[in-house]
């Protein structure tokens, strides 16, 4: 179910209508059911992974903090994981034909699918063993117990993420390495489907147990509240990656919805749709043609395609975040801001404080700083920066271009740190010209990074890079132009982004005269109607 589809808004209207009529506790139950339904629209089988991550991290969090789990908590967690393994793994819903009520095939598959039953029985056995071992927990030293259950949480999430996202990537590279020695490797590759949003909710649940271990957070008292924190549908699929310290208190307490929140929510949803449907989808065909071309790509095509991709990925991803935040505001829940005019950044450090803020702060807090940050000398700072960005690149996908992109940004961050440590550069006065030059220069560096990110292979990176250098000045352009909606909408998009940067406020529009803002809204609505006439496309970050 895509945010940019009619089905989503029908779903949202139905959920919201019921939400405003219910008391707080039942609101949470409604949102949890709605979140599971929302995710099941992609593939109901992978709901089991969300439940597995939920149960493991809730249990580990309680044991890290309290030493043991109450009997009621263990019962709820046990029943939750056992029932989900049956209904989401064993039961093959795709074979049920509810229209004809012909369940014969489904029942036959249910009784014969050995892998599903094997997973179910394994889960049952693990739950029984875990409950039997629970009585031994008081015998463990406090520090040792805390470390063991932190490790269980982190390893469980990384195994889930690693298997579904990176298994075939590593197998393919091992096969390639073996083939260099003129050997024929065995085929260990599996037909693995990447569960949508897996990179987001695994990082979100890991941060929960790590914060409890660091004594920065108390564990959730209510299992259903924690389950909603993990699966909350507006930000489940593509973030932002929320922290429990921010989101759990909002979920666990009664929420008051003000008229200002509702108006802000509608604005964010509208602007997010505009960025996605009008701008991102409108330039997508040009970008796809240039980066998917098998022929020679001219210098102008590389430049245009890369600039348009920078616009596309920003509008696509920030558009999702805006719709997620806007939807949440309707429910009285404030999600964190994930983007702050990133293309107005003057340096790489500022860029990562403005782009995908939830991921960059996650990597800083749970990877860069624990590695030592910049506290252990120049060499280790370089190592920490590059390793953090390498893993940040790999987080985006199992492909070498993402690793190269991460290394590129890690190197830029390190070079910037060296330059800013020199006193003579710190003494350069800051004025309008120097600010403009820094923004333009770093935007150029960012663009080349997007070339590395978007290119489908290392060979394509080499081809496009050589066109930039060896084909300089070639103005041939054979790709299709962006759609009319994007061409009409770009001036309004640029105006809003510039005003948000200039005013340092995404709500700057409330200070504009009503006729001006009404005209802008009307023009954007016209562009949105033009953009809606084309087929809706999936958000880019769904693949991550």
Q: What is the pLDDT of residues 179-228, one digit of tens each?
A: 666 666 666 666 677 788 888 999 999 999 999 999 999 999 899 999 99
- Listing DSSP states for 145-172 in one string gives HHHHHHHHHHHHHHHHHHHHHHHHHHHH
- Omega before 368 within 30 of 0, i.e. cis: no
How many other CB atoms are there within 10 angstroms of residue 7's CB atom? 11
User: What domain range includes position 135?
Assistant: 21-252
396 is catalytic: yes
Q: What pLDDT digit, counting tens, does each position of 44-63 carry?
A: 888 999 999 999 999 999 99
Count of domains in the chain? 3
Are residues 185 and 36 both part of a single domain?
yes
CB 92 within 8 A of CB 110: yes
Is 255:332 a contact under the CB 8 Å cutoff? Answer: yes
Q: Is residue 55 part of a domain?
A: yes
- Residue 213 falls inside a structural domain: yes
* CB-count burial class (<10 Å; 0-12, 13-18, 19+) for 43: middle
Residues 238 and 269 in one domain: no
User: Which of the listed residues 360, 393, 428 is the one where a domain comes to its end?
Assistant: 428
Task: Please identify, among 222, 252, 282, the residue that sits at the C-terminal boundary of a domain.
Answer: 252
Report residue 250 as tokens.
């909002």
- Both 133 and 242 in a single domain? yes
DSSP code, position 94: G
pLDDT in tens, 326-360: 999 999 999 999 999 999 999 999 999 999 999 99
Q: How far is CA 427 from CA 118, 423, 431, in A?
A: 67, 6, 12
**Cα torsion 287, 348, 205, 139: sign:** positive
pLDDT of residue 108: 58
pTM listed for this prediction: 0.89
Residues 237 and 329 in one domain: no
Domain-located, residue 6: no
Total residue length of the chain: 544
Angle at 208 between CA 214 and CA 327, to 5 degrees: 140
Instruction: State whether residue 278 is helix, strand or coil.
Output: helix
- For position 471, what pLDDT does the model report? 84
Sign of the alpha-carbon torsion through 188, 189, 191, 195: positive
Task: Indicate whether 284 and 388 sit together in one domain.
Answer: no
Over residues 23-27, the mean pLDDT reads 91
The confidence band for 141, taking pLDDT boundaries of 50, 70 and 90, is: confident
d(CA 228, CA 222): 10
Domain for residue 440, yes or no? no
Same-domain status, 418 and 271: no
With respect to residue 371, please indicate whether it lies within any of the assigned structural domains: yes
Shared-domain flag, residues 162 and 265: no
Write the pLDDT tens digit of every residue in 238-282.
Answer: 879 999 999 999 999 999 888 989 989 999 999 999 999 999 999
Q: Are residues 388 and 282 in the same domain?
A: no
Domain presence at residue 16: no
Q: Please provide the average confidence, as pLDDT, over all residues in the chain.
A: 86
**Is there a domain that residue 56 lies in?**
yes
Which of 230, 252, 274 represents a domain boundary (last residue)?
Answer: 252
279 shares its domain with 236: no
Whether the predicted pLDDT of 470 surpasses 90: no
Residue 287 token pair: 């970008």
d(Cα 165, Cα 195) in Å, to the nearest integer?
A: 8
Distance, in Å, from the CA atom of 318 to the CA atom of 107, rounded to the nearest integer, reads: 44
pLDDT band for position 88 (50/70/90)?
Answer: confident
Percent helix / strand / coil, the chain, rounded to 5: 75, 0, 25
Q: Is residue 46 part of a domain?
A: yes
Structure token pair of residue 192 = 């693995």
Do both 56 and 164 map to the same domain? yes
Whether residue 269 sits in one domain with residue 401: no
DSSP string, 164-201: HHHHHHHHHHHHHHHHTTT-------------TTHHHH
Of the residues 356, 396, 409, 416, which is catalytic? 396
Whether 201 contacts 50, CB under 8 Å: yes
Question: Tokens in use for 357?
Answer: 């803020």
Based on the domain organization, do 210 and 318 belong to the same domain? Answer: no
Find the mean pLDDT for residues 492-502: 89
């Amino acid at each position: 179910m895509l945010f940019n589809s009619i089905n989503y808004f029908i779903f949202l209207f139905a959920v919201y209508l019921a939400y405003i009529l219910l008391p707080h506790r039942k609101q949470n139950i409604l949102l949890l059911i709605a979140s599971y339904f929302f995710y099941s629209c992609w593939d109901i089988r992978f709901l089991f992974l969300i439940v597995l991550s939920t149960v493991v991290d809730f249990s580990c969090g309680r044991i890290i903090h309290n030493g043991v789990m109450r009997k009621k908590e263990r019962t709820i967690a046990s029943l939750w994981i056992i029932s989900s393994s049956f209904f989401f793994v064993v039961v093959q819903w795709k074979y049920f034909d509810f229209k004809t009520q012909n369940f014969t095939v489904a029942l036959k598959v249910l009784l014969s699918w050995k892998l599903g039953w094997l997973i179910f029985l394994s889960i049952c056995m693990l739950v029984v063993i875990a409950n039997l071992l629970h009585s031994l927990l008081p015998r463990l030293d406090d520090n040792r117990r805390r470390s063991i259950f932190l490790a269980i949480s982190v390893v469980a999430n990384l195994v889930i993420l690693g298997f579904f996202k990176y298994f075939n990537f590593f197998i393919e590279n091992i096969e390639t390495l073996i083939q260099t020695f003129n050997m024929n490797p065995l085929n260990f590759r599996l037909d693995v489907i990447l569960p949508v949003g897996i990179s987001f909710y695994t990082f979100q649940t890991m941060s929960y147990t790590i914060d409890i271990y660091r004594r920065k957070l108390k564990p959730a008292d209510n299992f259903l509240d924690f389950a909603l924190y993990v699966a909350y549908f507006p930000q489940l699929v593509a973030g932002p990656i929320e922290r429990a310290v921010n989101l759990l208190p909002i979920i666990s307490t009664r929420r008051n919805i003000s008229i200002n929140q509702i108006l802000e929510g509608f604005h964010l949803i509208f602007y997010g749709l505009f960025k996605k449907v009008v701008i991102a989808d409108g330039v997508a065909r040009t970008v796809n043609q240039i980066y998917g071309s098998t022929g020679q790509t001219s210098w102008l095509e590389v430049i245009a395609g890369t600039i348009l991709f920078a616009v596309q990925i920003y509008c696509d991803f920030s558009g999702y975040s805006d719709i997620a935040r806007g939807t949440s505001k309707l429910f009285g829940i404030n999600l964190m801001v994930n983007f702050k005019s990133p293309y107005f950044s003057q340096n790489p450090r500022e860029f990562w404080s403005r782009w995908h803020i939830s991921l960059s702060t996650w990597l800083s807090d749970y990877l860069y700083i624990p590695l030592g940050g910049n506290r252990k000398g120049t060499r280790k700072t370089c190592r920490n920066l590059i390793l953090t960005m390498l893993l940040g690149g790999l987080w985006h996908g199992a492909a070498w271009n993402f690793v190269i992109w991460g290394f590129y940004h890690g190197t830029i961050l390190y070079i910037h740190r060296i330059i800013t440590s020199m006193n003579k550069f710190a003494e350069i006065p800051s004025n309008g010209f120097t600010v403009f030059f820094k923004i333009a220069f770093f935007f150029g560096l960012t663009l080349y990074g997007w070339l590395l990110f978007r290119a489908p292979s290392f060979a394509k990176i080499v081809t496009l890079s050589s066109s930039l250098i060896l084909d300089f000045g070639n103005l041939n352009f054979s790709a299709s132009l962006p759609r009319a909606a994007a061409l009409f909408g770009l001036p309004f998009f640029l105006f809003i982004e510039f005003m948000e940067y200039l005013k340092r406020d995404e709500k700057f529009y409330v200070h504009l005269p009503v006729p001006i803002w009404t005209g802008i809204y009307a023009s954007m609505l016209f562009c949105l109607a033009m953009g809606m006439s084309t087929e809706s496309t999936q958000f880019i970050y769904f693949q991550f």
